[in-house]
């Protein structure tokens, strides 16, 4: 096990996948300088401008480049910098990327990952801090992933890159500097399997407490706090 921040873990995860598969490449704004948060730091030096592609400020073009690359047989990683910035490309995401496999009668594989760093951060204001995952969950054809720990952020990114369907990867910005234990080796987290952080008995058995991304961390923190409070009273 290695202890890393989420930011370092996802960077390593992408490097591992790009070394493993030469068809993996990334496109987005500011990737040539390491990305908005540093999650692409050093990748241009190792993989070159053909695989770390810095784009103009045109979200629709960025998503379209990913779609075209996937239809051509590569595995693009599309970076939107901030989840809110994907809204100008909603047609390319919802009407094109999500539906391409079905429009071609199942003959097309759209193996693209759209990274959406989202949530509240300092100075992010109302137009840079929205949580939009529910929109994508209601779109047939998209796989939506919302990791909540550094290990899950890395493992789900690696699994998303290997997936043959388009994946929306919700990356909680509040977790960028949170650290955690990362399993050694080729750490992939299975897609479609929920993780139970903790069982409890304080709610009716028919109720489920769940959240995605950073919210799960808040739930775990409050659960531990409540558990300590009950122990102090006993």
Active site residues: 128
Phi, psi at 76, each rounded to 5°: -75, 145
DSSP state letter for 25: E
Q: How many Å apart are CA 2 and CA 13, to the nearest integer?
A: 13
Helix or strand holding residue 124 (H, E): none
Q: How many CA atoms lie less than 13 Å away from 181 in the CB half-sphere?
A: 2
Residue 161 CA, chain-centre distance (Å), reads 10
Cβ–Cβ < 8 Å for 27, 56: no
Nearest to 116 by CA among 140, 141, 86: 86
Distances (CA, A) of 13 to 55, 73, 145, 161: 22, 21, 16, 10
Q: How many Å apart are CA 89 and CA 93, to the nearest integer?
A: 6
Within 10 Å of residue 200's Cβ, how many Cβ atoms?
10
Phi, psi at 58, each rounded to 5°: -155, 95
Dihedral sign, Cα of residue 115, residue 120, residue 126, residue 131? positive
């Amino acid at each position: 096990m290695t202890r890393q921040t989420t930011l370092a873990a996802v960077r390593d995860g992408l490097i591992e996948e790009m070394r493993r598969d030469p068809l993996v490449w990334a496109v987005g704004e500011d990737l040539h300088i390491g990305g908005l948060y540093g999650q692409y730091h050093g990748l241009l030096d190792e993989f070159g401008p053909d695989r770390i592609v810095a784009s103009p400020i045109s979200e629709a073009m960025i998503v379209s480049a990913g779609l075209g690359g996937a239809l051509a047989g590569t595995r693009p990683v599309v970076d939107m910098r901030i989840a809110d910035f994907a809204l100008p490309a909603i047609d390319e995401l919802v009407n094109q990327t999500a539906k391409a496999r079905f429009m071609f009668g199942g003959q097309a594989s759209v193996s693209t990952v759209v990274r959406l760093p989202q949530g509240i951060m300092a100075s992010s204001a109302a137009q840079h801090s929205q949580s939009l995952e529910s929109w994508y969950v209601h779109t047939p054809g998209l796989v939506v992933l919302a990791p909540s720990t550094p290990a899950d952020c890395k493992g789900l990114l690696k699994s998303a890159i290997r997936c043959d369907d388009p994946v929306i990867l919700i990356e909680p910005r509040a977790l960028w500097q949170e650290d955690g234990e990362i399993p050694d080796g080729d750490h992939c987290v299975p897609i479609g399997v929920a993780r139970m952080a903790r069982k409890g008995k304080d709610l009716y058995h028919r109720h489920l407490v769940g959240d995605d991304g950073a919210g799960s961390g808040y739930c775990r923190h409050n659960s531990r706090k409540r558990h300590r409070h009950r122990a102090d009273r006993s």
